C-alpha cells in the first residue's frame, strides 16, 4: 500500500497507526529470554534438570519460536542445590543477560533466594519444584508465581485420605530444611484436625547416605503411618530402607508427602508398591496427558514428572499472556496470566489466584504392584480427584497481595 496515493491526512493516519502498533508491542531488548534454573546433575536432577529444559524448549517450539515478532530464547543454569549459587545466577541473568523469566528452581531454600532477587530486580519468576506454602503466604510477591504444588496441597491429599482410611497415628521422617518442615507442619495439622495423633518426628539432613537409624526410630514409635516429609533423594531412600527393614510386613504403612514418578521408576515397584501419594500430574491419565508425554518421552526416553510437565504449561501460558498483553512488562504479563482460566494437558480447573498461586485439581494415587503394571511407566492407580479449592485452601492472609 502506498499511503501517498490517498493524500497527506490519510498518509499521516497510516504512519500513526504503524507507530501505535509498534508502541503497543513492546519487547525489552527485542527478545524474550527464559532462564531454566535447575539441578542438572544432583539429587533433584531426575524430576527437574534436563527434563525441565526440554519441557521449556517444547513450549517455545510449539508456540512458534517468536512472540510479537520477536525471538524467544532459552538459557540454562545449574544452581547445584545451593542458595548462594542460585541467587548469584539469578542476579546475573536479570542484570547482565536480561532474562525476562526464570523457571523451575528445585528446593525451597534456593527458590526463596531467587524470589528475593526477582523482587529486587522486578522480573518474573515461576517456580515448579519449590513447595513451601510460605512462597505464596508470608513471602508472596507480585513477581513470583507458584505453579505446580505446595506443601499444604500434598498434605491435604495424602494425610487426609490416609487418616480417613484408618491411619490415625503418625511418625514423620522429615528433611531438615524449609521444604521438609513445611510438609510436616501442614500434614500434622491435617492429621490432628481429623482426630489423629502425631507421635513424633526425626529430621535427617538432605542427601543423608544412611537412613537406617531414622527408620529404626520410626519403627519403634509403633505409629500406624510413617510419613515421609521429604523430597529427593531422601524420600525414596527411606522407602527403599523401609522395604529392607520389613516395615510393611510389621504392620506399618508408608505415606509419601512428596513422591514423583521418576522416584518410583528409580526404586522400582517392588519397593514402592502400595505407597499412597498426591500428584498434580500423571502421564497416563487420559488422551491429553498421553499425547504430550509421549512427545516428551521421544526426546528424553522417560516420562515427565509433574514438575517438568508444569514447566511446559507455565511457559506456554506466559507466552500467550505476552501476546495478548502486547508487552513483556512483568506486572502486565502477570495480570494477563491471572485473567483467563488455565485448562491444558497439565492443569484441570486451573486459575492463577491473586496471591500468584496456580490453583488446580490434584489426584490421590496408589503405586501399583508389579503384577498390576502392564507396560513401562504404568505405575499409578488414580483413587480420587481432589479439587484445587480443597487441596490448596483459601489464600493465606499473611500475603500482602490478598484483599483483606
Domain ranges of the chain: 32-149+285-360, 152-279
For 221-251, how does the pLDDT look when each residue is reduced to its tens digit (9 = 90+)? 999 999 999 887 788 899 999 988 888 778 8
pTM confidence score = 0.89
Residue range 294-321: mean pLDDT, rounded: 98
- Percent over 70 (pLDDT), the chain: 94
Q: What is the 3-state secondary structure (H, E, C) of the chain?
A: CCHHHHCHHHHHHHHHHHHHHHHHCECHHHCEEEEEEECCCCCCCCCCHHHHHHHHHHHHHHHCCEECCEEEEEEEEECCCCHHHHHHHHHHHHHCCCCCEEEECCCHHHHHHHHHHHHHHCCEEEECCCCCHHHHCCCCCCCEEECCCCHHHHHHHHHHHHHHCCCCEEEEEECCCHHHHHHHHHHHHHHHHCCCEEEEEECCCCCCCCCHHHHHHHHHCCCCEEEEECCCCHHHHHHHHHHHHCCCCCCCEEEECCCCHHHHHHHCHHHHCCCEEEECCCCCCCHHHHHHHHHHHHHHCCCCCHHHHHHHHHHHHHHHHHHHHCECCHHHHHHHHHHCCECCCCCCCEEECCCCEEECCEEEEEECCCCCCCCCCCCEEEEEEECHHHHHCCCCCCCCCCCC
21: pLDDT strictly greater than 70: no
pLDDT at res. 108: 86
Residue range 30-37: mean pLDDT, rounded: 98
Asked if the domains at 32-149+285-360 and 152-279 fall in one CATH topology, the answer is yes
Class (C level, CATH) for 152-279:
alpha beta
Query: β-pairing, 253-256 with 225-229?
Result: parallel
For 70-110, how does the pLDDT look when each residue is reduced to its tens digit (9 = 90+)? 999 999 999 999 999 999 999 999 999 999 999 999 988 89
Dist CA 225 CA 171 (whole Å): 6
Architecture of 32-149+285-360 per CATH? 3-Layer(aba) Sandwich (3.40)
Mean pLDDT of the chain: 91
Q: What is the band of 309 on the pLDDT scale with cuts at 50, 70, 90?
A: very high
Q: Which one of 148-152, 207-211, 228-232, 376-380 scores highest in mean pLDDT? A: 376-380
pLDDT at res. 25: 65
For 348-360, how does the pLDDT look when each residue is reduced to its tens digit (9 = 90+)? 999 999 999 999 9
Amino acid at each position: 500500500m502506498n499511503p501517498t496515493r490517498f493524500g497527506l491526512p490519510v498518509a499521516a493516519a497510516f504512519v500513526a497507526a504503524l507507530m501505535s502498533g509498534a508502541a503497543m508491542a513492546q519487547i525489552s531488548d527485542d527478545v524474550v529470554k527464559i532462564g531454566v534454573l535447575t539441578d542438572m546433575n544432583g539429587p533433584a536432577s531426575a524430576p527437574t534438570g534436563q527434563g525441565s529444559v526440554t519441557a521449556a524448549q517444547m513450549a517455545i517450539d510449539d508456540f512458534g519460536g517468536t512472540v510479537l515478532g520477536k525471538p524467544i530464547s532459552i538459557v540454562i543454569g545449574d544452581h547445584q542445590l545451593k542458595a548462594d549459587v542460585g541467587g548469584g545466577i539469578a542476579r546475573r541473568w536479570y542484570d547482565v543477560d536480561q532474562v525476562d523469566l526464570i523457571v523451575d528452581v528445585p528446593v525451597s531454600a534456593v527458590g526463596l533466594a531467587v524470589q528475593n532477587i526477582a523482587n529486587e530486580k522486578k522480573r518474573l519468576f515461576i517456580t515448579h519444584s519449590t513447595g513451601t506454602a510460605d512462597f505464596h503466604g508470608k513471602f508472596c510477591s507480585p513477581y513470583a508465581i507458584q505453579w505446580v504444588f505446595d506443601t499444604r496441597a500434598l498434605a491435604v491429599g495424602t494425610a487426609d485420605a490416609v487418616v480417613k482410611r484408618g491411619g490415625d497415628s503418625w511418625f514423620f521422617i522429615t528433611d531438615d530444611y524449609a521444604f521438609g518442615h513445611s510438609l510436616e507442619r501442614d500434614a500434622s495439622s491435617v492429621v490432628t484436625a481429623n482426630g489423629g495423633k502425631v507421635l513424633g518426628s526425626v529430621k535427617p539432613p538432605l542427601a543423608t547416605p544412611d537412613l537406617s537409624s531414622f527408620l529404626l526410630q520410626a519403627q519403634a514409635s509403633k505409629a500406624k503411618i510413617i510419613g515421609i516429609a521429604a523430597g529427593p533423594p531422601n524420600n525414596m531412600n527411606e522407602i527403599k530402607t523401609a522395604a529392607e527393614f520389613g516395615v510393611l510386613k510389621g504392620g506399618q504403612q508408608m505415606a509419601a508427602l512428596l513422591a514423583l514418578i521418576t522416584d518410583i521408576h528409580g526404586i522400582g515397584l517392588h519397593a514402592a508398591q502400595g505407597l499412597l501419594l498426591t500428584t498434580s500430574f500423571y502421564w497416563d491419565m487420559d488422551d491429553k496427558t498421553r499425547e504430550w508425554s509421549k512427545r516428551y518421552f521421544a526426546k528424553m526416553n522417560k516420562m515427565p514428572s509433574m514438575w517438568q510437565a508444569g514447566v511446559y504449561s507455565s511457559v506456554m501460558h506466559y507466552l500467550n499472556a505476552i501476546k495478548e498483553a502486547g508487552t513483556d512488562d512483568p506486572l502486565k504479563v502477570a495480570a494477563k496470566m491471572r485473567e483467563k482460566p488455565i485448562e491444558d494437558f497439565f492443569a484441570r480447573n486451573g486459575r492463577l489466584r491473586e496471591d500468584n498461586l496456580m490453583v488446580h485439581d490434584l489426584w490421590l494415587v496408589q503405586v501399583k504392584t508389579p503384577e498390576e503394571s502392564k507396560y513401562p511407566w504404568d505405575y499409578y492407580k488414580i483413587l480420587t480427584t481432589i479439587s484445587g479449592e480443597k487441596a490448596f485452601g483459601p489464600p493465606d492472609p499473611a500475603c500482602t497481595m490478598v484483599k483483606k
